[in-house]
Amino acid sequence: MLRQAVKYCRRYDILNEFLEIHGSEVLNIILTEWNTEDAIAFAREEGREEGREEGREEGRDECLEIILKKALAKGVSFELLHDITGLDIEMLKRVK
């Protein structure tokens, strides 16, 4: 049944490019035994990883903001900060 669905999609050019590359992988994933406990564990781990990445991004943003504020307080010009960081001058002015 699943193989027929993949063949049907290929025949009618539905996700054809994707299935040409990943067709067997799709079948393997679908046919692999997948139970509720595995699904929950996978979802939890995926959520943890997303949370860690969001935390890293927030940390980088906070660190950048602190550095920019300190540089501005020391008299570094918006133009120089723009040259160094590539950040938009208008965005830099909002940091102050």
If DSSP codes are grouped into helix, strand and coil, which group holds residue 14?
coil
Tell me the three-class secondary structure of 25-74, residue by residue. Answer: HHHHHHHCCCCHHHHHHHHHHHHHHHHHHHHHHHHHHHHHHHHHHHHHHC
Please report the pLDDT score of residue 80 as a whole number.
92
Q: What is the mean pLDDT of each run of 10 residues along the chain (96 residues)?
A: 74 80 75 71 90 90 90 92 88 82
**Predicted local confidence at residue 45, as pLDDT:** 92
Query: What per-residue confidence (pLDDT) applies to 75?
Result: 93
pLDDT score recorded for residue 33: 62
Cβ atoms within 10 Å, residue 31: 10
pLDDT at 35: 66
Closest by CA position to 78, among listed 65, 67, 62, 93: 93
Distance CA 82, CA 71 (A): 12
Note the pLDDT of residue 44.
92
For the entire predicted model, the pTM comes to 0.46
